[in-house]
A and B are shown apart, each in its own frame.
Chain A
């Protein structure tokens, strides 16, 4: 009943360009209308940054899934499983298990103690200026790495869909994506961005579900035969076993550990995920959002296992690697194989929407952090009125958009799941120790916080700069140079423990005592939600 083309003819993809662009234009038009409607009553800073705290747990949970299931998850993981077999599945597991850290240790406590940004929580009981500046800098750094990954994904996707393989053409597309994103965020603020995330999450999960069922149907709903198909296509039984990518040497095994650590500890420290908890009215709704997003995200990652091995079996790893867009093209190629131009068009439009929405979410987070933490609290010392703050945030959006476009052009061609893993490593090193310590360790001090944040951030970024990702191998960003003295491509295994250690050391060596009353206030607020629960109490 299903006609399956014998092999995927990559050249035939070019004929579908107009259709792809049409479907994508439709998505942009529909979401733009929604954003315009949603933004009608954006008045205060709480409206702009936190969507007036008007979303329900399930809406916010869907939006979190939308934020989290980025191009890295969809294009990157599917590609990694299709090409590297089992080792790619590791991403799915790490990205999901990580949510338990957010659920158990961070989400509700953070919702109860903050207002708009991560820095609100971290500076709650410590000295405002130094901690706020450190938290804002690390927020900006993590957002920047994450943005790079998304923009690089946009480049790969375009090269596949529009058959644009020259550098200038791809750069132009990245500029268009960046410009659209700036418009969404400027007009819609957090409310508009959230609605874009919700729509996109539903489309992405539905699209992945259809493809998963389709692949399973081809193999008679038998996972074992699907895996057998992947083995036959690759002519290598090792695709089902761990170690194909990371098992080659002792160093690469260590790299695998490092990746695993960064994935599981990064999520609860991602500023754009943390900021989502402020769009709901209460901690209970924050908990509901996390539960809702764990179910959606978990379901989606189970799909990636089928999609990845499905692409390996039906499209073939060599065809994927040879296609424009490389590893990242596995999911779109599988869509083309299954449903022809129409499904490819739909899946590609969803992938575009994904990139657009995630980039918008990151941008609003970075802008909020700059305007709220650096401008309003440090430069204007709290004397800026909300209007000026929102104005600064909007200008920051434009600056960040331009930076993201430039960075995306540079990072074009890297595996996006891998780039996102670097953002996770930076987040886990720079933010997580301070979040955990300030919520759970009474003695924690300002010096501990700044040592941990700057130490974690600097060690992660420097180790990445000195790693094979940047120089020394054929796939490095800077070709022809070799200053890769650090052997691992993910810095997590060094920088995360180091940041925890620095936080402890900075605290025990600190001669200053922090305000006892503030510590009591933070602990009581975080567990009881007093002051934060007004909206439902009255």
Chain B
């Protein structure tokens, strides 16, 4: 079937350090990290701000806004909204900015562009 998570054949002879050093791969890594790190820090800060307010600013969180609905419930529901929003944002970012370049590098590797012997194998154009 060949659908194991780590089929060895395509990647066995690849010089991964060479791939890692290419500008294309550095770009991919930069695009990935420059999205996920700030986003992760952002949602964690927003979540902890919420937790700290719930623990130490009870009066503020208990302020009634509309009927019996108070600030705490609104902020809690906003956590749901931001979670859904970040999810959607990440998917669209990955589809546009990460997947195409990742696929290009993958095809390069599978086409033996980075084999350890140093010279590209003949099968390079097969993909």
Contacts and interface: CB of A to CB of B under 8 A. Distances in A.
B122 interface: no
A18 interface: no
- Majority secondary structure, A binding face: helix
A520 B19 contact: yes
A294 B86 CA distance: 11
A173 interface: no
Contact of B72 (A240, A523, A524, A530): A240
A527 interface: yes
B11 A93 contact: no
A218 to B, nearest CB: 15
A52 B25 contact: no
A90 B43 contact: no
A530 B10 contact: yes
A9 interface: no
A392 interface: no
Contact of A295 (B56, B70, B84): B84
Given A53-B5, A531-B6, A224 B32 contact: no
A100 B87 contact: yes
Given A242-B58, A257-B51, 5 more contacts: A97-B79, A256-B55, A294-B84, A530-B106, A531-B6
A89 interface: yes
A93 B40 contact: no
A253 B110 contact: no
B80 A523 contact: no
Contacts of B48: 260
B10 A264 contact: no
A295 B84 CA distance: 7
Interface of B: 1-8, 10-11, 14, 16-17, 19-20, 25, 28-29, 32-33, 36, 39-40, 43-44, 47-48, 50-52, 54-56, 58, 61-62, 66-70, 72-73, 76-77, 79-80, 83-84, 86-87, 90-91, 94, 99, 102-103, 105-106, 109-110
B3 A52 contact: yes
A246 interface: yes
A46 interface: yes
Contacts of B94: 287
A104 B39 contact: yes
Contacts of B73: 86, 89, 227, 240, 305
11 contacts: A97-B47, A105-B36, A242-B58, A260-B47, A290-B87, A298-B84, A305-B73, A524-B16, A531-B10, A534-B2, A537-B110
Interface in A86-115: 86-87, 89-90, 92-94, 96-97, 99-101, 103-105, 111-115
Interface string A223-259: 1110110010000001011110011000001001100
B58 A104 contact: no
A516 B17 contact: yes
Given A86-B72, A97-B47, A531-B10, A298 B55 contact: no
Contact of A528 (B7, B36, B105): B105
B58 A294 contact: no
Nearest to B67: A224
Contacts of A260: 47-48, 51
Given A90-B51, A242-B72, A295-B84, A103 B105 contact: no
A164 to B, nearest CB: 37
Nearest to A227: B68
A511 interface: no
Interface in A362-411: none
A536 to B, nearest CB: 9
Contacts of A52: 1, 3
Contacts of A111: 5
A21 interface: no
Contacts of B54: 86-87, 90, 242-243, 256
A256 B58 CA distance: 13
Contacts of B61: 241-242
B24 to A, nearest CB: 10
Contact of B5 (A114, A294, A295): A114
A522 to B, nearest CB: 8
Contact of B19 (A101, A223, A524): A524
Contact of A523 (B8, B20, B50): B20
B11 A531 contact: yes
A247 B69 CA distance: 20
B62 A520 contact: no
A15 interface: no
Contacts of A512: none
